[in-house]
Each structure stands twice: as structure tokens, then as C-alpha cells.
Amino acid sequence: MQGTVDGFSYGAVTPVAAYLMASLGGALGLRCVTRSIRNKRSWKPGWLALGAASIGCGIWTMHFIAMIGFQVEETRIRYDGYLTFASLVVAVLVVGIGVFIVGYRGAGRSALLTAGVITGLGVAAMHYMGMAAMRMGGEIHYDSTVVAISVVIAVVAATAALWAAVSIRGFLASLGASLVMGVAVSGMHYTAMAAVSVHVHGGVGAPSVGGSPTSIMLPMLFGPVIFLILAGVVVMFDPLLVLGEGDWGGQQAKRSPVGNSAQQQPSSGSLFQPHTDAPPPAWSSPENPSRYRGW
């Protein structure tokens, strides 16, 4: 028999929470990628890896928070833990491929399209692996046309996010990009869920095949959420990540007597002179170049 599918059993709570997690992961990831590109003295592989992990965890967490609200009236749902965890690994690794491509090759058309397609397909693979991890007293069927639309949305969203990571500067612009990214990723998820129908084995009141989604998913969500919080702490303690390249110079000028010299730093966004790791002494002044002896 055909199952009665409800994707919003908790009302607006799960969609809103899922959107916020996707936006948070996107915001942290975009700032980390920007940090690696704008500041050439950064440890690029580390920042790109942190950005990829933030975006991947944000997307994965969004998916499974949204799935807490998914129910089939005639049967209970549980999840295969190994396959669910594997979908997280896929999300982080494939997003990482796209992030590293644009991080090292820039936003050229070929690099951006390649990275966007790979990342988008990875996001779609993560989604459908998560769906394959579901265990219930029935079978899931998909509308192939809607599935194809969801994959296209994933590719477009991934390409736009990667473009934003290497092209958009400043905190507010990056924040806006992350909010748009959250809309796109959530839109992909709910478009994919619109393709779902369930054929239930047996009659109404089929026996349970496992615990509730909430009791299973909440412990698994704990780790990625903690990671996103820790990544947010890293961002908060690095002004270049928060403010971006253009805003840093002005902010430094207000807080330090060497603000004018800070504005003369290289266009890479580095806080440091190219030939030294130490800042000029506080008594130095651009108006008196003779005071720069030894720098």
C-alpha cells in the first residue's frame, strides 16, 4: 500500500533549524577559503581543509535535521549508522575537492565549472546516501524527473558557493552569500524529498523496525555541530576571517598607531611586511621614513 509521507511533522522547526545550519557551515567555509586566498602567508591547505569540513558538516547536518521531520505514518523509521556516517565523509571529501580546486586554481571558468560539478554531485550523493541509510517497513521510490532537478540545483548551488568563496570580499557580502547558499542547499534537499514516495509492506500499523529518528539522529548530529561551533570560535579569533581584506586595514588603523602603515600592506591581505614577521615599532611613522632604520 502507499504510505502517507509527512516531511514537516514538527512544523517549521526542522526546516528553519536545517537552513540555519546550512548557512552557518557556508559562512564559516567561505570565510576560511577567503582567508587562504587573500592572505598569502596563510597555511593554505589547513584553511582550505577547515573550510571544506565546515561546508560539508553544515550540509550534512542540515540534511539530517530536516530528516528528523520526515515520517511515514504507517511505519517507523530508523537509520543505518555506518551508511549515515559514510554520507558525512562523502560530503566533506567531495566538497574538499571543489574547495581545493578553486583555492589553488582560482575562479577561472574551467576550474569553477569542474569544481562546481564535482561538489554538486557530491552533495547529491550525500543526500541519496542518507536516504539509502533509512530502514523502514516499506520501499522508497523516486520520481526521476524531480531527482534530476535536485541534482541540477545542487550543482548550481555548489558552483555559486565556490565562486563566492574566491570572488566576494568583506564580511557583509560573504554573510549574504552564505544565506543564499543556505537557501540553495535547503531548496535542493526539499526538492529531492518531493521526489519521494513510499510503498509500505503490510497494512496500517506495520510493526516498528527501529527506534525513532530523533533518538537515533541527535547523538550522530552532536559531533558535526560541535565541530561547527569550534570552527566558529576559530573565525571569531581571527580578524582577517571576520572582517575580510578590505575592512581589516580600516579597523587596524583605528586601533593602532601603525594603522597608516597597515593600509600599505600588500594586496594579498597579509598583516605582515613581506620581509619580516614582526610589525614596525609603535614609534615609527610613514611621515618620517628615517625612523624605519632596521626594518
Pairing of strands 71-72, 77-79: unpaired
Q: Is residue 60 within 8 Å of 91, Cβ to Cβ?
A: yes
pLDDT at 37: 75
* Among candidate residues 282, 188, 235, 238, the one with its CA nearest the CA of residue 30: 235
Q: What is the pLDDT of residues 98-151, one digit of tens each?
A: 999 988 887 788 888 999 999 899 889 999 999 998 888 889 999 999 999 999
pLDDT at 155: 92
Instruction: Report the DSSP beta bridge partners of residue 2.
Output: 199
Three cell numbers written together for 138: 516499506
Q: How does residue 260 score in pLDDT terms, banded at 50, 70 and 90? A: very low
Helix axes 144-167, 171-194, angle to 10 degrees: 170
Q: Which of 28-32, 152-156, 250-254, 276-280 has the highest mean pLDDT?
A: 152-156
CA distance 2 to 199: 5
Torsion angle (degrees, nearest 10) of CA 92, 111, 114, 55? 20
Q: How does residue 212 score in pLDDT terms, banded at 50, 70 and 90? A: low
Phi-psi domain of 11 (left: phi exceeds 0; alpha: psi -120 through 50; beta: other): left
Give Cβ neighbours of residue 226 (< 8 Å, ≥ 6 apart): none
Give Cβ neighbours of residue 121 (< 8 Å, ≥ 6 apart): 94, 151, 154, 155
CA distance 170 to 173: 6
Q: Which H helix or E strand runs over 142?
A: strand 138-142
pTM: 0.73
pLDDT at 79: 86
CA distance 216 to 238: 36
Q: Residues 215-219: what's their mean pLDDT? A: 59
Identify how many contiguous H helices and E strands the chain contains and give both numbers: 9, 6
CA distance 230 to 54: 10
* Among candidate residues 210, 217, 214, the one with its CA nearest the CA of residue 75: 210
* Among candidate residues 141, 216, 182, the one with its CA nearest the CA of residue 55: 182
pLDDT at 211: 46
CA distance 142 to 192: 9
Q: What is the pLDDT of residues 177-210, one digit of tens each?
A: 888 888 888 999 999 999 999 989 865 444 444 4
pLDDT at 273: 33
Q: How does residue 290 score in pLDDT terms, banded at 50, 70 and 90? A: very low
Q: What is the pLDDT of residues 26-59, one digit of tens each?
A: 888 888 887 777 766 668 888 889 888 888 888 9
Kindly report the backbone phi and psi dihedral angles of residue 79, in degrees, each rounded to the nearest multiple of 5, phi listed first: -130, 145
Q: Exposed, middle or buried: residue 114 (CB in 10 Å: 0-12, 13-18, 19+)?
A: middle
Instruction: Report the DSSP beta bridge partners of residue 196.
Output: 142
CA distance 24 to 230: 12
pLDDT at 164: 80
